[in-house]
Amino acid sequence: MIKKHTFIDLFSGCGGLSLGFEMAGFTSLLAIDNWKDALTTYAYNRETARTLCGDLSTLDPYKIKEDYNISNVDVIIGGPPCQGFSVAGKRIIEDERNTLYKSFVKFVDYFHPKAFVMENVPNILSIGNGLVKKSIIHDFEKLGYKVSVQVLMASDYGVPQNRRRAVFVGLADGREFVFPETIKTKKVTSYEALSDLTENSVPDGSPYPIEATSDYQRYARMGSSGIYNHDITIHNDKTKEIIAMVPDGGNYKDLPIELQQTRKVHIAWTRLCSTKPSITIDTGHRHHFHYKWNRIPTVRESARIQSFPDEFIFLCSKTSQYKQVGNAVPPLMAKAVAQQLCNTLCRKRPCHTKPNSIRKTNT
């Protein structure tokens, strides 16, 4: 029996990144986050999940290893918030606001996994003319990792959303990680993702009203007993009138001039385009509207846009559910990275190359 690679997910949220790794055959040892709602959803969707709610800046990796009987970690994954990354005048590791980023580094240092995967916003690579990027790479190189970084577009990996994320991958054996190739088939559109879901709310567990009409819908329905989290938001009449003026794929520029400034954000009154992947969804979803219906997407529709399968059910308040979905890494994009990483770890390192470090892995 082939041993599955293991991982710890730091700043896990509800588990989009974890789900992608699980889809690729990895086994979760522990998920850590400081938001109880997200971990409630994380645990509900995994029978054997182990979660820890706490502030990573104060958690001791040694104590976690002992408390959870963790003997070996193959990969550490996560997306630490990095508020201090805007300070480009000094090394980010020294910025006191980056205690969460430093916690990620600390866990990698202690467990010294075979690899780590860290994701963040794309502009992390350009802040300070690249100083932040160089600092991150330097911090992990000091621990013995060969670091590769690339901005990935979620729609290139089967996700019906044009969401970009910067992904750092480090390998402890000195090899350079090669990011997965993009899918060659046509990108999944908003229509292909959502057209089988109803205009109005349905009770949790309701059967699908029609047969799946696209490969993506068939993927989304796999393993699901019905529709969950499809509770529409009721807008007032004025809001619905304004939404109705915006065509499929349009935005505030399609409104009469006197209505264009009713919301002071550039993404205001934006409809999804039925013939393209969705624009990047956020945690509030108050400015993005369904390509056809005069309302914002439901939590289930938002989860579809993020590539969560329908069997993944979101818990706690609806506001919390939206935030959980919006904060997540798209699972299908995570799966592509995880599969590539699994293939890399399973291939033996050529004997004529030398690793960056002779440091021994903790056991």
**pLDDT single digits (tens) 219-275:** 999 999 999 999 999 999 999 999 999 999 999 899 998 887 776 666 778 999 999
- pTM, whole model, 2 decimals? 0.92
Q: How far apart are CA 28 and CA 49, in angstroms?
A: 7
Q: Where are the beta strands (DSSP E) in 49-197?
A: 51-53, 75-78, 115-120, 146-153, 164-171
Q: What average pLDDT does this structure show over 289-293?
A: 96
Which pLDDT score, from 0 to 100, does residue 91 have?
A: 60
Closest CA to 57 of 33, 29, 28: 33
Of the pLDDT bands very low, low, confident and very high (cuts 50, 70, 90), residue 192 is: very high
Tokens 């402890």 -> residue: 172
Which of 14, 53, 82, 316 is labelled catalytic? 82
Q: DSSP string covering 140-152, please?
A: HHTTT-EEEEEEE
pLDDT tens per residue across span 106-123 = 999 999 999 999 999 998
Calpha distance 10→104 (Å, rounded)? 7
Task: Give the confidence band of 358 by pLDDT, cuts at 50, 70, 90.
Answer: very low
For all residues of the chain together, what is the average pLDDT? 90
Q: Is 82 a catalytic residue?
A: yes
Residue pLDDT, tens place only, 123-180 = 889 888 888 899 999 999 999 999 999 999 999 999 999 999 999 999 999 999 999 9
Question: pLDDT at position 83, please?
Answer: 64
Per-residue pLDDT band at 92 (split at 50, 70, 90): low
